[in-house]
Amino acid sequence: GAGVSQSPSNKVTEKGKDVELRCDPISGHTALYWYRQSLGQGLEFLIYFQGNSAPDKSGLPSDRFSAERTGGSVSTLTIQRTQQEDSAVYLCASSLGHASPLHFGNGTRLTVT
Amino acid sequence: GQNIDQPTEMTATEGAIVQINCTYQTSGFNGLFWYQQHAGEAPTFLSYNVLDGLEEKGRFSSFLSRSKGYSYLLLKELQMKDSASYLCAVSTDSWGKLQFGAGTQVVVTP
């Protein structure tokens, strides 16, 4: 079956612009996660959604970052007034939840100029 | 805070064995995962440990000691395609939220 799909694969934007990153999880996966990875670094947790529960937003670095998940499926990560330090690969993952491995998409490479 | 430590880089010869250590101090523990990530690609799942002991899966094995906050990933009969970054990740809540280490870059030489 289809894996986790992310779009766009690459995004170049000017400092100060808003961007939206999309994630389409594996069908039937109740948990959806957003991470980001800077060059040569590990994965930094941003936010996750689990079923109908309130999302865990504890990893969002500032109030410029927000995410939503509509209908328990597709998720959008929005970054407002982008800064150069936001440049990174943004990875989305989904899973069946507790003790299940995360399945990652190929990521969106964001470059803020 | 959360600390997950692993070596930055390891080099080994094709056909050899390499052991990647991971130590952790986290506010919660619901299991430990290992992922493989080739350059420019997404991480892929390798193994999961929640109880103490060794889990073997082909050429890859993973060990966990919860009392010591310690795990290792053992790669046997190394192949060139095993050159990648290996990520240690701890599940810190009951819903599978993962905290990742910075990754260990394994370089396999001929």
End-to-end CA distance of chain B: 41
| 3-class SS of residue B82 | helix
Query: Cβ of B100 and A35 within 8 Å?
Result: yes
- Determine the residue among B8, B57, B94, B98 to mutate to test chain A binding: the one whose Cβ has the most chain A Cβ atoms within 10 Å: B98
> Taking CA B1 as the corner, what is the angle to CA A68 and CA A42, rounded to the nearest 5 degrees?
60
Nearest-by-Cβ selection for B101 from A31, A33, A42: A42
Q: Where in B1-110 does DSSP place strands (E)?
A: 3-5, 9-13, 18-25, 32-37, 44-49, 53-57, 60-65, 70-75, 84-91, 98-100, 104-109
Can you name the residues that pair with B10 across neighbouring β-strands? B106
Q: Check if the beta carbon of residue B53 is closer than 8 Å to that of residue B71.
A: no
Residue A1: predicted pLDDT: 54
pLDDT tens-place string over residues A57-103: 999 999 999 999 988 799 999 999 999 999 999 999 999 887 789 99
Residue A14: predicted pLDDT: 97
Query: Cβ of A45 and B30 within 8 Å?
Result: no
* Burial letters A59-94, b for 16+ CB under 10 A, else e: bbeeeebebebeeeeebebebeebeeebbbbbbbbb
Among A48, A9, A57, A8, residue whose Cα is nearest residue A29: A48
Nearest-by-Cβ selection for B87 from A31, A42, A53: A42
Question: Residue B94 pLDDT more than 80?
Answer: no
Average confidence score pLDDT of chain B: 94
- Which residues of chain A make contact with B33, given a CB cutoff of 8 A? 101-102
Among A78, A64, A75, A84, residue whose Cα is nearest residue A12: A84
CA B89 to CA A88: how far, in whole Å? 20
DSSP string covering A47-58: EEEETTSPPB-T
Nearest-by-Cβ selection for B96 from A43, A98, A106: A98
CA A96 to CA A94: how far, in whole Å? 7
Question: Residue A13 pLDDT more than 60?
Answer: yes
Nearest-by-Cβ selection for A101 from B33, B93, B103: B33
Quick one: what percent of chain A has pLDDT higher than 90?
80
CA B56 to CA B62: how far, in whole Å? 7
- Which residues of chain A make contact with B89, given a CB cutoff of 8 A? 43
Q: Check if the beta carbon of residue A89 is closer than 8 Å to that of residue A75.
A: no
Query: Cβ of A43 and B100 within 8 Å?
Result: yes
Query: Cβ of A41 and B95 within 8 Å?
Result: no
Question: Residue A51 pLDDT more than 80?
Answer: yes
> Taking CA A33 as the corner, what is the angle to CA B88 and CA B6, rounded to the nearest 5 degrees?
15
